[in-house]
Chains A and B, each alone.
Chain A
Amino acid sequence: MDGYFEMGGYAFYVWTSYGVTALVLIALAVFSLRANAAAKAEVERLKPKRQKRPSRVTEAAPQEAP
């Protein structure tokens, strides 16, 4: 393990490559997930509310006849 992190003198290039890759991919995933959560919440907020008829029913796909 001694000297492992020095990567034979290429530490900066190797670890920056892995670090930037991890950072950017995690950022994109988090951003996508958060943006979807926000959009979903906004859809729920604007959706017309109907009494005694859960709005889910109107959203669901038409059931196929058995």
Chain B
Amino acid sequence: MHRFANPAEFNRLADRILPWAKLVLLVTLGAGLYLALFASPADYQQGQSVRIMYVHVPAAWMAMFTYMVVAGASFTAIVWRHPLALLAGKAAAPIGAVFTALALITGSLWGKPMWGTFWEWDGRMTSVLVLFFLYLGYMAIWRGIDEEDKAGRAASILALVGVINIPIIKFSVDWWNTLHQPASVIRLDGPTIHNDMLWPLLILALAYKAYFVIVFLWRMKLEINRRKLSVLRMARVSG
């Protein structure tokens, strides 16, 4: 693992992964959109509005997944002082914030026709909004503290404390039985959603994951270059 602490080594690894991730994205996005928009049936209760699910649920899954990436990177950075781990958290956070915003926006666009409201302070919606603010807080700390290592440590601590919110999001639909429907895919007794709807959902979820890998690797390169820049600028000032 420490081999990839070397930025040159990391860039080489990234360039090997990127073409495959792009291929996966292309295939899954095409197949997923076709299934989601054309081949899948309308819901017997929700009609055609159920098609919002195929962009809403993967965004929500990725919002939580990306948070665990940020938290995992933060943990690695604090415990092992792995030099690229801090940058990994910094690179992933904006992607997670975007997924969270999309989950909230598509959720309210689905809620309006189905529940009659864009927003309700229900357990699921409130805890996902908290997730969004955790991302913003993490990014604000990075921006707010000049010394990069200090900023990274402070942001990492916030990310780790915020992990408590992830199980709250997951179980919010069971604890507060209000508007948001309970889980129908990730359940102990197996999915309760019909296969014709499950497949487009899972395929598009894979497309979102491939998108994450691609943009994450791009942003890692960006953060490595930014770090190089600050070293070069420092050398100019002192030299």
* A contacts, CB < 8 Å to B: 7-10, 13-14, 16-18, 20-21, 24-25, 28-29, 32-33, 35-36, 39-40, 42-43, 46-47, 59-61
Contacts and interface: CB of A to CB of B under 8 A. Distances in A.
Nearest to B8: A61
Given A10-B49, A14-B51, A28 B95 contact: yes
B42 interface: yes
Contacts of B219: 32, 36
Contacts of B101: 24
Given A13-B112, A17-B110, A61-B8, A39 B229 contact: yes
B233 interface: yes
Given A10-B48, A32-B218, A43 B110 contact: no
> Ordered nearest first, which 10 A-B pairs have the shortest CB separation?
A39-B225, A8-B48, A36-B222, A7-B48, A10-B49, A46-B232, A17-B106, A8-B47, A17-B52, A32-B218
Nearest to B56: A17
Contact of B211 (A16, A25, A40): A25
A53 B93 CA distance: 38
Interface in B31-64: 37, 42, 47-49, 51-52, 55-56, 59
28 contacts: A7-B48, A10-B47, A10-B49, A10-B113, A13-B109, A16-B109, A17-B52, A17-B56, A17-B106, A17-B109, A17-B110, A18-B37, A21-B102, A24-B101, A28-B98, A28-B215, A29-B214, A29-B215, A32-B218, A36-B219, A36-B225, A39-B222, A40-B221, A43-B232, A47-B232, A61-B6, A61-B8, A61-B9
Contacts of B8: 59-61
Contacts, number: 88
B105 interface: yes
B236 interface: yes
A43 to B, nearest CB: 5
B215 to A, nearest CB: 5
Contacts of A36: 218-219, 221-222, 225
Nearest to B97: A28
A20 B103 CA distance: 11
A13 B215 contact: no
Contacts of B228: 43
Given A39-B226, A43-B225, A43-B229, A21 B106 contact: yes
B161 to A, nearest CB: 26
Nearest to B36: A18
A49 B102 CA distance: 45
Contacts of B109: 13, 16-17, 20
B48 A24 contact: no
